[in-house]
Amino acid sequence: MRVVITGASGFLGALLAGSLLRARVLAGVPITRLVLADRVPWPGSQGGTDPLVEVVHGDLTDRVDEVFAAPVDVLFHLAAAVSAECEAERGTGAGRLDSPLPVNLPALTVSIAEVLATLRQIAGDAVADLVTIARDPVVEAMVGSWPADFDNRRAAALGLRPDPGFETVVQDYLSGPGVEPPGQSAPI
Ligand SMILES: NC(=O)c1ccc[n+]([C@@H]2O[C@H](COP(=O)([O-])OP(=O)(O)OC[C@H]3O[C@@H](n4cnc5c(N)ncnc54)[C@H](O)[C@@H]3O)[C@@H](O)[C@H]2O)c1
C-alpha cells in the first residue's frame, strides 16, 4: 500500500514515519511506498533514504500533484501551521486575517437578570423559582474583570454573526440532540 504522511518532518509526522518504517506494515498490509511530504527537509533523509521512502520536499500546495501522482491508500494529513506559526502567517497577510491580532468571535453581553428572565420565559415559573441569588465576591471579581463590550469588526468581515439574543442561545441548546424540552415551557 502507498501511504502518505503530510507534515512528516513535524513532531507527530516524524514519530509516525519512524514507527511505520520500523513496522513496514499498516493494519497488517505491507507498505510498498511511504511518501513523506513536508516543506522542512525530512530529518531521516540525512542518514541515507530507506528504499520505501519517497520524500516530497516543498510547500504542499505546490507539491500536491506529486503526492497524488499514484493512488494513495492511506493519507495521514498532519501538515499544519500551529500556534506561533499561525500568527506569523496571519502577519504576512494570508487570507483576510491580515494582522497578528486575535479575532473576537461575535458575542452577546447579557445581564444575569436577562438570563433569569429568559429561563422564566422558556422553562416556566416553577423552574425559575428554584434559582436563588447569592453574591460571591470571588466570582464577582472574576466576572467583573471580563470586558462587556467587544470589537467584533474583524469577525463581521469574515461573515461571522452573533446570536440575535440569549433566548436563541437557549432555544438552540434545546433543539440539540438528547435534550428534553422543558415540561412547562411557555409559548414565545
Ligand atoms: N503535537 C501534538 O501533541 C498534537 C496533538 C493533537 C493534535 N495535533 C495536531 O496534529 C497536527 C500536527 O501537529 P505537530 O505537533 O506534528 O505539528 P508540527 O508543527 O510539529 O508539524 C507540522 C508540520 O507540517 C509542515 N507544514 C505545515 N504547512 C505545510 C505546507 N503548507 N506544506 C508542507 N508542509 C507543511 C511543517 O513544516 C511541520 O513540519 C496539527 O494539526 C496539530 O494541531 C498535534
Q: How many structural domains is the chain composed of?
A: 2
* Mean pLDDT within 89-114: 68
Q: Does residue 80 surpass a pLDDT of 60?
A: yes
Residue 116 lies in a domain: yes
**Residue 24 CB coordination number (10 Å):** 12
Instruction: Tell me, in angstroms, the distance from the centre of ligand 1 to residue 124's CA.
Output: 49
Residue 19 lies in a domain: yes
pLDDT tens string 123-161 = 999 999 999 999 999 999 998 898 877 788 888 888 888
Residue 188 lies in a domain: no
Q: Does residue 95 surpass a pLDDT of 90?
A: no
Domain identity same for 136 and 68: no
Ligand 1 pocket mutation, candidates 16, 38, 92, criterion most atoms within 8 A of CB: 38
Nearest-CA residue for atom 2 of ligand 1: 12
Q: Which residues pair with 29 in a beta bridge?
A: 26
Instruction: Write the single-letter amino acid at 12.
Output: L
pLDDT of residue 177: 75
Residue 86 lies in a domain: no
Q: How far apart are CA 168 and CA 21, in angstroms?
A: 52
Domain that holds residue 60: 2-80
Residue 60 lies in a domain: yes
Instruction: Tell me, in angstroms, the distance from the centre of ligand 1 to residue 136's CA.
Output: 43
Q: How far apart are CA 58 and CA 41, in angstroms?
A: 8
Domain identity same for 123 and 74: no
Q: Does residue 78 surpass a pLDDT of 60?
A: yes
Domain identity same for 72 and 117: no
Q: Does residue 56 surpass a pLDDT of 70?
A: yes
Residue 106 lies in a domain: no
Query: Residue 57: what are its φ and ψ, rounded to 5°?
Result: -105, 125
Domain identity same for 6 and 69: yes
pLDDT of residue 184: 47
- CA-nearest of 15, 59, 12 to 37 is 59
Higher per-residue pLDDT: 45 or 131: 131
Query: Chain-wide mean pLDDT for the chain?
Result: 85
pLDDT of residue 142: 92
Domain identity same for 76 and 19: yes
Location of C-alpha cell 434545546: 174
Domain identity same for 60 and 119: no
Nearest-CA residue for atom 3 of ligand 1: 12
Domain identity same for 9 and 61: yes
Instruction: Tell me, in angstroms, the distance from the centre of ligand 1 to residue 53's CA.
Output: 19
Instruction: Tell me, in angstroms, the distance from the centre of ligand 1 to residue 77's CA.
Output: 9
Residue 154 lies in a domain: yes
Kindly list the protein residues whose Cβ atom lies closer than 6 A to any atom of ligand 1: 7, 9-13, 38-40, 59-61, 78-82
Higher per-residue pLDDT: 19 or 178: 19
pLDDT tens string 104-124 = 778 788 888 999 999 999 999
Instruction: Tell me, in angstroms, the distance from the centre of ligand 1 to residue 8's CA.
Output: 8
**CATH number of 64's domain:** 3.40.50.720
Q: Does residue 49 surpass a pLDDT of 80?
A: no
Domain identity same for 8 and 75: yes
Q: Which three cell numbers stand for residue 180?
A: 428534553
